Structure 1
Amino acid sequence: MSEVQLQLDERGRGAFYLEENKEKLGEMVVGISGTALTVYHTEVDPKMEGQGLAKKMFDFMIKYVREKGLTVVPLCEFVHAQFKRHPEEFADVWKR
């Protein structure tokens, strides 16, 4: 399986995604404005559910925002749930 990729357009909108054989297996839709990265939605191909793909994209996104000095606005239910479960772990990046 491929590594997580990030694709953004000139306006800072795009997604972190996973692909295999040119087939998209999962994506985390985001937008960057200033120093905030907003996560709108995370989705994994139903046939790939339960294999940790959403968590893999989440971990990559967290690494990315820390490297870039960004904060995260978690509009996505999955990301918000991760932040609520481990608030101390993500306090440095969670824009409440």
Structure 2
Amino acid sequence: MEITIKEQDNKGFAMAREDGKRAGMMTYSVAGKDHIIIDHTEVNPEFKGKSVGKKMLYEIVAMAREKNIKITPLCPFANAMFKKSTDIQDVLKQS
């Protein structure tokens, strides 16, 4: 599975593709030079159960670590993943 991250203006997304098909997308808003807000995750039904959402989230987390930015997960899926995955909580924005 290939995951690409693109950003334009104050929006960004991670897109997952497999065998030329779009498997899912996770979108975020840029809330400052060191802060993004993950606002939506969608996975195409035929890719359910393949950890597509988790893979996209981990790519965004890797990008956040590289750029030294923090993440606020407003999306219910991303929020749940941050709560149960201690290995990514270092990029979680504290309130």
Report the TM-score when normalising by structure 2: 0.86
Larger strand share, 1 or 2: 2
CA-based RMSD of the aligned residues comes to: 1.6
Cα distance in 2 for residues equivalent to 1:48 and 1:17: 13
Deviation digits for residues 32-90 of structure 1 (CA, Å, limit 9, x no counterpart): 2221111001111011100111111111111110010000010011111111113x433
Q: How many residues align?
A: 93
Contiguous gaps of at least 5 residues in structure 2: none
Residue 27 of structure 2 corresponds to residue 29 of structure 1: yes
* Partner amino acid, structure 1, of 2:67: K
In structure 2, what is the equivalent of residue 53 of structure 1? 52
Report the TM-score when normalising by structure 1: 0.85
Query: 1:4 is paired with a residue of what secondary structure?
Result: strand
